[in-house]
Amino acid sequence: MRQRPLTLIQDDLVDYDQAMERMRELVGERQRDERPDTLWLLSHPQVFTIGRRTPMDHLPDPAKGIPVVETTRGGQLTYHGPGQLVGYLIVKLGEGEGIVDYVREVELRLVEALGKLGLPAERRDTPPGSELLTGVWTAETGRKIVSIGMRQSRGVTSHGFALNVDGDLEPWHWAVACGMPDVDMTSVQRELGRTSMDEVRAAVVTAFEAG
């Protein structure tokens, strides 16, 4: 992978709508070359977010009481909540580099981060005609641990990844995650029996050359 050092912003729990407003500001600054490439690490209160292609029958029962927010990223339904590490990537793509190329790089960097935590992981290629297998999966149990949904505008990326660390996994069962009814979502805690959000953040920061 190419060297691509990122400026780091770290927050704890940030409301999703407020985060989207701030992300748009960061993207505008990067488009105008007013800031360097940036990784913003944070978590959100409980929310389901849906991409532009998410079918209505994939949405959760409103009785569950978790808001559903339409977003501009690629991909389908994703759940966010406490105990999940979200990373928004505001990066200017290189000459001839597309968003799919960068998503592949993000997958590989997260595979590296999980490896440092002692959790072997992998990215997957999507078979023709199948639902996109974007994200990161555990190598030994075959469960999905990272969701990725990104877009690019005027050559700058936005949105990013959600890595399940030690949060409640039950809400994933209340909807169709990532467009895949049979997907088994997991977390670092579930796979290793131990975890530390600080340790996961540090591994991600190192993998993305952020500081």
Q: Which residues are catalytic?
A: 178
Beta bridge partners of 86: 42, 162
**Separation CA 209–CA 5 (nearest Å):** 5
DSSP-assigned beta bridge partners for residue 149: 160
The closest of 147, 142, 149, 139 to 167, measured between CA atoms, is 147
Tokens of 6: 């990122």
In 3D, which of 176, 130, 177, 11 has the Cα closest to residue 82?
Answer: 11
Quote the CA–CA distance of 42 and 82 in Å, as a whole number. 10
